[in-house]
Structure 1
Amino acid sequence: MTTRDYKNGRPRRQDAARSESPCGTGMASNFVPASQNSTGQVDPPPDGEIGTYEQAVAFLYSRVNYERIGHAPYTADHYRLDRMRRLLQALGHPHSAYPIVHVAGTKGKGTVCHLLAAALQASGYRTGLYTSPHLHRVEERFVVDGRSPDGSELAHLTSRVAAAARQIELAGGGRPTFFELTTAIGFLLFACRQVEVAILEVGLGGRLDSTNVCQPACCAITSISLDHQRQLGDTIAEIAEEKAGIIKPSIPVVCAARHPDAVEPIQRVAQQRGAPILTIGRDFECAWQPTDPPLDRQPEGGWARIRIDPAPPAVPRPLSPDQTLAAPHLPSTLGARGIVGVDLAESPVSSEKASPRADLVPPECWPVRLLGQHQADNVATAVTVLSVLAQGGWRIDWQQARQAISRVQPRGRLQVVGHRPLAIVDTAHNPASISAGLQALQQHFSSSLGDGRSRRLTAVFAASRDKDYRGMLRMLLSSCQHLVLTQYQQHPRALPMDRLAATVHELLADAESTLGEAAPTVHLAPTPAHAWQRAIELAESNGIVYACGSFFLAAELLPENVV
């Protein structure tokens, strides 16, 4: 693996032995675990209080969990960054022990995080990845080099975080939420495992998200569309402004938003904060070409090839002469500033018109296992972030990164899980994501989908009460031959099946003149498992089964521990 020499902000690679023990002798030398904190901020919890995996999970789920409630106002009263900062302070600032790439957006942010983590790990960096929500087990949220903590490690970490949380509560700081606690566990795990970089996916919005206490080396904002309107705003511009809240002064930003109403506020915030910004369609672009896929097996060369053209340019000069390009940073406890700057006068990107060094230019063509043209923007975003890091002194092994990215398939993101019929599970949970999913099916499998009365798409659908299920259903009704409605069983936000059925009845009545005989047959199934079985029975062997509508539906359909 590698260690870091932060002199002049440039990483240095060398072999080093690592310990896997949580917060033990293998702790990063610049991080002080809570039990050894010289300020005495946190005392270890009493023996046995959280000593098992089950106790850890019970503790976490005893806290307010907005992922399960789904309707909390997005205000500083409910999302309190000060409390998150105090929690991390009590833990010894674990989030300051390693560089961070911070990713926000409506669609694609999870995929971009997985792509970045795979590429950086392949380049030799011990890489932490924090994403949400999880499909089956809470520890899926935080992994290091692809490995989640085991039960004893999660119990140990949760015990530390619980002690810090109790201290905050006793001081009148309020009760940290489920997401704040799991974010703190992720930060702590990454410090304990001595990661050399962490990739953080924003949970909700950006400005007030618990992950937004970090000082990143680079930020990325993916596609913006309407979702979580009750919390983030009713327009694309309002939502984009919230996502832009992750932008930090002088820190490079890669923006993959294409909607003009999203691009304007993101670029404005970047300018206000003196953050260099690379925007898709202006500073970099991509082209997408699907392969000719077999329907009975996974294609060896991937589902598509993506060309990033032109190659990502050099990072623009910051807006004032005294600003510096962001580079990997030191813990705040070791210096007055968290960011170590690269003097632009000595940097390969000292001029706006300077060309990148040859060894910093990534390959143009990237094969991928990801379905859909929209994934081209995600891959281009990840590659551009890697290019920014390379120009800041990071050593990216482009060939290894290319191979790693070609193998990435985040679970539940248009994931092919069976053949004949071709069976796909998708976490799409808003109209924009459903539209992208249906377009992907058409782009890759048009001969199998058919058209009009000969359509051969069977959809399985369930949704949460607070989502735009009417908008999603409109798209499915005009695209499928059979629609199987169900209700997931393990989440309180599930929309009751009778409400789904009533909504479909209304929409079909409204669309009778346009759909006519092409209207799909509608079936009800009491559970996702029953719905899936019914869909497989309905679909022709050369047809497609597409399950969508919610992350929670995907969780109940995808087997645990199966990639």
Structure 2
Amino acid sequence: MLNTYNEALTWIHSLLKFGIKPGLKRVEWLLERTGHPEKEITCIHVAGTNGKGSTVAYLRSMFNAAGYSAGTFTSPYLISFNERISIDGNPIEEDELLRFARLLKPLVEEVSQSSLGSPTEFEVITVISLLYFAEKKPDIIIYEVGLGGLFDSTNVITPIVSLITNIGFDHMGILGDTVEEIAFQKAGIIKENVPVFSTVDQEPAVNIIKKKANEMSAEASLSGIDFSYMHLGSSEHGEKFVFQGMRGSNLELEITMKGLHQVKNATLALAAVEYLNSEKIYHFTHGQIKEGILSAFWAGRFEKAASSPDIILDGAHNLQGIQALKQTLEHHYPSKNIYLLFAALHDKEYKTMMKELKDIIKGVYFTTFDFPRAAFANQLLAESPFQNAKAIEPWEEALAEAKKQLKGEDILVITGSLYFISEVRKTFSKI
């Protein structure tokens, strides 16, 4: 029996040992036994290698600005575990999580004894979210895919719109190591007669998405063909751009999340909202869209945590994320000395990530953090392409050393892993 929230959390985390087990059968078994909550909700499904969380944030913010309540299911978390399941930015209460964990624990134990085996942590969290949202009934729920799409446990939902942000190389041991293989997994979220919107730009991946959409009689709308944007400029406040929609819209907008990749993410969310508006499924005014897109925020994405020197937290954890980070630094800090505090998971392509940043970084502090898959600082240093680099553990000492050495006009970028950013972010009290 689970008596407290902490006991519930410990039990959920204990399922981590079952790792990643692609497939929907265990989740479907649990949903069958709990009354099929997935059939009681209205939702949007978001897949992609990077940019899922930001796209979810743009959608939620626009729905909230239009007066709708919006649930979100996201991963991983940056501050508290409960934020993964939220309504209007408010995480599920501890007693609610405990209640659903109590309900599921005997079912998880029962299915574990069957040929299906034990559900994973992510599968259990997915089911908890579905039970919670079915009970609370927000106007819309935005589900972020955990990994891939086709066999991800969130793929038990039938959304009103599917979104695919982009295709990059991550989790290749599970999703495949070609653009086509990864695109096939992401396109697995496309459901029959459910429109899909995508900002994927590699032709082979686009062809996979179009083929899957055609098989499912789902209308596919693509960035650069059916909707587009024109970037107007970057400033210390964010990005300005024009969104050109499929139904003649031509909106001049501003976002506070920095980087051209964020413009792209915002455009994808805007395309979905434009469709829902035109179909009269939901109603958004231009003013609500502008307000929502401007106020959207997603922690740990080029987030300014301190000034003099500016300290930027960015959760880039794969090559595509690092490329976006580099582009954003070049746009917003073209003439500054940029230093790096870097930690990464040992199973990521961190050598490629480091090489990408080599030309713009003045100096690097390698470190590590408390996580089972975290690489050691000396391991990173040994494979470093940087001339001016040192390894310091623990990360608190590395951060203190960097702050001591940097001048007021310098920039410190803390990056390499979302889990690392989550840990570091707690030390900056103002955020």
Q: TM-score, normalised by structure 2?
A: 0.95
Distance 2:289 2:98 in 1: 33
DSSP-derived class of the 2:348 partner: coil
DSSP-derived class of the 2:16 partner: coil
Structure 2 match to 1:412? 300
DSSP-derived class of the 1:446 partner: coil
The residue identity in structure 2 corresponding to 1:380 is T
Residue 478 (1) aligns with residue 345 (2)? no
The superposition leaves residues 493-538 of structure 1 with CA deviations (integer Å, 9 ceiling, x where unpaired) of 101222111111xx35xxxxxxxxxx4x112210222222222223
Map of 1:205-284 to 2, 5 A cutoff? 205-284=148-227
Whether contact under 8 Å (2:55, 2:269) holds in the other structure is yes
Residue 392 (1) aligns with residue 265 (2)? no
Structure 2 match to 1:457? 338
1:562 shift after superposition = 5.9
Structure 2 match to 1:531? 398
Structure 1 match to 2:50? 107
1:163 shift after superposition = 3.4
Which residue of the other structure, out of 1, 25, 32, is the alignment partner of 1:82? Answer: 25
The residue identity in structure 1 corresponding to 2:54 is T
> Which structure carries more helix by proportion?
2
Residue 498 (1) aligns with residue 378 (2)? yes
The superposition leaves residues 228-266 of structure 1 with CA deviations (integer Å, 9 ceiling, x where unpaired) of 111111111211111000001110000110121221111
Structure 2 match to 1:375? 262
The superposition leaves residues 61-91 of structure 1 with CA deviations (integer Å, 9 ceiling, x where unpaired) of 111357xx5xx5xxxxx22202111111211
DSSP-derived class of the 2:221 partner: strand
1:135 shift after superposition = 2.1
The superposition leaves residues 414-440 of structure 1 with CA deviations (integer Å, 9 ceiling, x where unpaired) of 111111111100000011111110110
Map of 1:441-456 to 2, 5 A cutoff? 441-447=329-335, 449=336, 456=337
The residue identity in structure 2 corresponding to 1:556 is E
Distance 1:185 1:170 in 2: 21
Structure 2 match to 1:516? none
Which residue of the other structure, out of 369, 387, 394, is the alignment partner of 1:488? Answer: 369
Residue 182 (1) aligns with residue 148 (2)? no
DSSP-derived class of the 2:315 partner: coil
The superposition leaves residues 362-392 of structure 1 with CA deviations (integer Å, 9 ceiling, x where unpaired) of x612211111111111010000011111123
Structure 1 match to 2:311? 423
The residue identity in structure 2 corresponding to 1:251 is V
Which residue of the other structure, out of 28, 50, 54, is the alignment partner of 2:6? Answer: 54
Distance 2:22 2:289 in 1: 36
The residue identity in structure 2 corresponding to 1:193 is K
Whether contact under 8 Å (1:458, 1:538) holds in the other structure is no
Distance 1:495 1:457 in 2: 23
DSSP-derived class of the 2:90 partner: coil
The residue identity in structure 1 corresponding to 2:246 is P
Unaligned stretches of 5+ residues in structure 1: 1-48, 73-77, 294-301, 314-354, 356-360, 450-455, 509-518
Residue 290 (1) aligns with residue 233 (2)? yes
1:403 shift after superposition = 1.1
Structure 1 match to 2:239? 304
Whether contact under 8 Å (1:101, 1:199) holds in the other structure is yes
The residue identity in structure 2 corresponding to 1:175 is S
Q: Which moved more, 1:523-532 or 1:415-424?
A: 523-532
The residue identity in structure 2 corresponding to 1:83 is R
Which residue of the other structure, out of 545, 553, 560, is the alignment partner of 2:420? Answer: 553
1:170 shift after superposition = 4.9
- Give the 3 Å change call, closer, same or farther, for CA 80–292 of structure 1 in structure 2: closer
1:173 shift after superposition = 3.6
> Which structure carries more strand by proportion?
2
Distance 1:277 1:432 in 2: 24
Compute the RMSD of aligned alpha carbons: 1.7
1:107 shift after superposition = 1.2
Distance 2:91 2:352 in 1: 36
Distance 1:51 1:289 in 2: 55
Please tell me whether Structure 1 or Structure 2 has the larger radius of gyration of its CA atoms.
1
The superposition leaves residues 414-471 of structure 1 with CA deviations (integer Å, 9 ceiling, x where unpaired) of 1111111111000000111111101101111213x2xxxxxx0001111101100100
The superposition leaves residues 337-378 of structure 1 with CA deviations (integer Å, 9 ceiling, x where unpaired) of xxxxxxxxxxxxxxxxxx7xxxxx5x6122111111111110
- Give the 3 Å change call, closer, same or farther, for CA 306–161 of structure 1 in structure 2: farther
Distance 1:124 1:98 in 2: 18
Distance 2:288 2:278 in 1: 18
**Percent of aligned positions with the same letter in both sequences?**
30
DSSP-derived class of the 1:308 partner: strand
Distance 2:398 2:295 in 1: 30
The residue identity in structure 1 corresponding to 2:3 is G
DSSP-derived class of the 1:258 partner: coil
